[in-house]
Amino acid sequence: FQELLTASGLQDARLKAGSGILTTWHAHNPLFRIPIDHTLSSPGVTVLDFRRTAALDGSDHWPILAEILLP
């Protein structure tokens, strides 16, 4: 993932928003959870909010919502 960020020049919206580690998988197993889903943004984009939303029926991932402000 770090190589992708470096090669593309994109930034992790989770870090830009100061959200810390938000696990998104595995929604049904509290012993094994990792931040596997990501949102990337250009350096000029402001990330106002980044959060995990309510789980969806049938999914083992939590959805994420990124609120952005375009320049």
Reported as a single tens digit per residue, the pLDDT across 28-44 is 898 999 999 999 999 99
What local confidence, expressed as pLDDT, does residue 18 receive? 87
| Entry pTM | 0.79
Question: Is the pLDDT reported for residue 21 higher than 90?
Answer: no
Number of other CB atoms surrounding residue 13 within 10 Å? 21
For residue 32, the cross-strand partners are none
pLDDT band at 60 (very low <50, low <70, confident <90, very high): very high
Cα separation, 32 vs 68, in Å, equals 29
At position 3, the amino acid (one-letter code) is: E
